[in-house]
C-alpha cells in the first residue's frame, strides 16, 4: 500500500513554481487513478518521456513493407567550386558592377516637378548618391519610436545632417528647426499660400548615454502629409541640400536591401597596392577560401538558387555567389583613431536581403581574420571606411565626394574634424554649445539665387572654398 500523498503536494501557486529536483522527487506523484508513486526512479523516468507519445500498438496493425536501400549506389561526393573552377580566372568578372549602388549619382530617374525655391539657392547640382542601409538609419533609435513610424500611412524620410551625430542633435536643437524651415520653403502650386504638411521629429535614442561626437542616432525623421507626394519625390531626387556649413543635409528613405561592402582589408606598408594584378590576387585569395568551404558553398548555393533564380549544381551556384566580388582601393581610418591608411574595400552583390542571412554570409568572408596577397598579410576589419560627413560606408570623410563638388556650401572635412577635436574630450553636462548667431542662422534667406542680386542689397553669401574665409566660421556652431 503506497503511502498517502504528502500534505505539501498541493497545486498552490507556490508549489507550481518550485522546480528543484529534490522537491519534485520527494513530492508524491498522483496518477489518473489517484495512486501516488514516490520512488525516485519512476519520477525521473516520467520526466524523460516525450510529451506526446504515439498511442500504444494494440490490436491488429496494418502491414508495412520496408524496401531495402539499393546496393552500391552511394550518392556521388558533391564537388566544391575550387575543384572545378579557377579562382584566378577573371574573364567576364565582376558581374553586376553597374548595379553597385555605391557608385551612383543623385537625380536618378525621371525628373520630378521642381518646387518654387522661395528663398535660397543651395548647391544646385548632381552629387554622389550616398546609400545608407536601413539598419544604419535606424541605428540606436528606440524600438517604440520605430514601431510608431512603421505604422504611418506614408513611410517617413530620414534627414542626415552632414557631419552630425546624436550629440550635435542634442546640443543644437535649433538646427532641426532650420532644416524644417528650409524644407517648408519648397512650395508647389498645390500649396497655394500655405506651407507643406511636414513634421520633423528628433530621434529617441535607445541608448541615451551615447556621447561620441558622431554617435548614433544621427538622423532626423521627416513625416510628410499624405498630399506631399511631389515634395517627397523632389527631396529624394535632389537628396543633397547644402546651403551653408550648418544647414547641410541629405534626405534618405528607408529601403530594403543590404550593403555591398563586405569587409575592409589593411596591412603593413606595401600590403595594399592599387594595381589590377594586386586586386585580382586579393580577390583570388578570398574566392579560394570560400570555394574550399563546404559550409559556405551549401549556404550560398541555396540562396543563389532561391534569390537569383540560379540553376546548376552546388559548385556552380556557389561560384556564382562570388562572381560579383570586387574591390576598391580606398583610405580607411584605423580603428580607434582618425589615422588614414590605404585599404582594400571588398564589395559584393548581397545574395540576400534578409538581415540574418546577410550577416551569416558576411561572416564567411570575415571569419578567416586575414588573407594573403603574396607574402603580404591583409587583416580583416582592422580599419573602418565610414564617412562622418555623409554617413556612407564607401569612403572616409577625408575622401567624401560632397565637399569636392564644385560650389559646395556645406561643411568641409576640416570643419567636422576640427569640431570633433573641440568637443570630444569635454564633459557634456558642463559644456555650453553656442549656436550660430541669429544673423548667421538666417543668412541663407538672403542668399541670392545664382545670377540675381541679393534681396537685402548687401553682398550675398558666397560659397567658400575649403579652409578659406573667416565669414564661414561665424555661421558654424562654436564651443567655448
Contact positions vs Zn ion (CB under 5 A): 387, 389-390, 400
Q: Using the minimum distance from each CB to Zn ion, give the nearer residue, 160 or 222.
A: 160
CB of 218 to Zn ion, least distance (A): 13
Is the separation of the CB atoms in 240 and 132 below 8 Å?
Answer: no
| Residue that is written with C-alpha cell 540560379 in the block | 310
Sign of CA dihedral 365, 367, 369, 372: negative
Is the separation of the CB atoms in 222 and 151 below 8 Å?
Answer: no
- On the 0-12 / 13-18 / 19+ scale of CB atoms within 10 A, 22 is exposed
Q: Using the minimum distance from each CB to Zn ion, give the nearer residue, 304 or 400.
A: 400
Is the separation of the CB atoms in 46 and 29 below 8 Å?
Answer: yes
Element (H, E) at 241: strand 240-244
Quick one: cell of 415?
Answer: 570643419
How far apart (Å, rounded) are the C-alpha atoms in residues 133 and 349? 14
CB of 154 to Zn ion, least distance (A): 28
Q: Using the minimum distance from each CB to Zn ion, give the nearer residue, 325 or 387.
A: 387
| Residue that is written with C-alpha cell 523632389 in the block | 234
CB of 131 to Zn ion, least distance (A): 11
Q: Using the minimum distance from each CB to Zn ion, give the nearer residue, 272 or 389.
A: 389
CB of 250 to Zn ion, least distance (A): 9
Is the separation of the CB atoms in 222 and 200 below 8 Å?
Answer: yes
Q: Using the minimum distance from each CB to Zn ion, give the nearer residue, 129 or 390.
A: 390
CB of 163 to Zn ion, least distance (A): 9
Quick one: cell of 215?
Answer: 554617435
Element (H, E) at 180: helix 174-184
Q: Using the minimum distance from each CB to Zn ion, give the nearer residue, 120 or 390.
A: 390
Q: Using the minimum distance from each CB to Zn ion, give the nearer residue, 259 or 310.
A: 259
Three-class DSSP category at 456: coil
CB of 416 to Zn ion, least distance (A): 10
CB of 389 to Zn ion, least distance (A): 5
Quick one: cell of 310?
Answer: 540560379
CB of 390 to Zn ion, least distance (A): 3
On the CB side of 194, CA atoms within 13 Å amount to 7
DSSP string for 115-170: PEE-S-----S--BPP---HHHHTTTB-HHHHHHHHTSSSPPEEEEETT--HHHHH
Q: Using the minimum distance from each CB to Zn ion, give the nearer residue, 4 or 406.
A: 406
Is the separation of the CB atoms in 299 and 139 below 8 Å?
Answer: no
Q: Using the minimum distance from each CB to Zn ion, give the nearer residue, 214 or 361.
A: 214
CB of 387 to Zn ion, least distance (A): 3
How far apart (Å, rounded) are the C-alpha atoms in residues 392 and 236? 16
Amino acid at each position: 500500500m503506497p503511502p498517502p500523498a504528502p500534505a505539501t503536494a498541493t497545486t498552490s501557486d507556490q508549489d507550481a513554481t518550485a522546480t528543484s529536483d529534490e522537491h519534485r522527487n520527494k513530492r508524491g506523484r498522483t496518477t489518473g487513478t489517484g495512486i501516488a508513486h514516490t520512488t525516485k526512479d519512476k519520477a525521473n523516468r516520467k520526466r524523460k518521456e516525450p510529451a506526446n507519445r504515439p498511442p500504444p500498438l494494440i490490436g491488429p496493425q496494418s502491414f508495412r513493407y520496408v524496401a531495402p536501400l539499393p546496393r552500391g549506389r552511394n550518392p556521388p561526393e558533391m564537388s566544391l567550386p575550387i575543384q572545378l573552377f579557377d579562382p584566378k580566372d577573371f574573364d567576364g568578372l565582376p558581374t553586376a558592377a553597374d548595379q553597385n549602388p555605391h557608385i551612383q549619382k543623385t537625380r536618378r530617374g525621371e525628373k520630378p516637378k521642381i518646387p518654387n525655391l522661395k528663398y535660397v539657392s543651395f548647391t544646385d547640382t548632381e552629387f554622389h548618391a550616398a546609400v545608407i542601409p536601413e539598419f544604419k538609419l535606424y541605428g540606436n533609435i528606440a524600438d517604440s519610436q520605430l514601431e510608431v513610424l512603421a505604422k504611418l500611412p506614408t513611410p517617413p524620410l530620414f534627414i542626415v545632417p552632414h557631419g552630425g551625430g546624436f550629440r550635435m542633435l542634442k546640443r543644437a536643437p535649433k538646427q532641426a528647426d532650420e532644416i524644417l524651415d528650409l524644407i517648408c520653403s519648397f512650395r508647389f502650386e498645390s500649396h497655394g499660400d500655405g506651407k507643406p504638411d511636414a513634421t520633423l521629429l528628433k530621434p529617441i535614442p535607445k541608448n541615451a548615454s551615447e556621447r561620441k561626437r558622431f554617435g548614433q542616432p544621427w538622423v532626423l525623421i521627416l513625416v510628410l502629409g499624405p498630399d506631399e507626394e511631389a515634395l517627397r519625390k523632389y527631396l529624394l531626387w535632389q537628396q543633397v541640400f547644402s546651403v551653408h556649413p550648418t544647414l547641410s543635409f541629405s534626405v534618405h528613405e528607408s529601403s530594403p536591401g543590404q550593403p555591398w561592402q563586405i569587409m575592409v582589408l589593411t596591412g603593413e606598408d606595401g600590403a595594399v597596392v592599387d594595381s589590377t594584378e594586386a586586386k585580382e590576387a586579393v580577390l583570388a585569395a578570398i574566392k579560394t577560401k570560400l570555394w574550399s568551404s563546404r559550409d559556405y558553398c551549401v549556404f550560398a548555393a541555396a540562396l543563389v538558387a532561391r534569390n537569383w533564380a540560379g540553376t546548376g549544381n552546388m559548385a556552380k551556384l556557389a561560384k556564382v555567389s562570388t562572381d560579383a566580388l570586387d574591390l576598391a582601393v580606398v583610405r580607411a581610418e584605423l580603428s580607434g583613431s582618425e589615422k588614414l591608411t590605404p585599404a582594400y574595400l571588398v564589395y559584393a552583390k548581397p545574395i540576400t536581403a534578409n538581415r540574418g542571412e546577410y550577416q551569416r554570409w558576411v561572416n564567411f568572408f570575415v571569419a578567416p581574420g586575414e588573407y594573403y596577397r603574396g607574402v603580404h598579410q591583409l587583416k580583416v576589419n582592422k580599419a573602418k571606411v565610414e564617412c562622418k560627413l555623409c554617413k556612407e560606408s564607401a569612403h572616409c570623410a577625408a575622401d567624401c565626394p560632397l565637399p569636392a563638388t564644385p560650389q559646395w556650401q556645406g561643411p568641409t572635412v576640416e570643419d567636422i574634424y576640427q569640431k570633433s577635436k573641440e568637443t570630444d574630450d569635454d564633459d557634456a553636462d558642463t559644456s555650453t554649445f553656442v549656436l550660430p548667431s541669429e544673423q548667421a542662422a538666417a543668412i541663407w534667406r538672403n542668399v541670392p539665387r545664382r545670377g540675381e542680386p541679393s534681396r537685402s542689397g548687401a553682398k550675398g553669401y558666397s560659397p567658400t572654398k575649403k579652409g578659406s574665409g573667416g565669414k564661414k566660421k561665424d555661421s558654424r556652431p562654436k564651443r567655448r
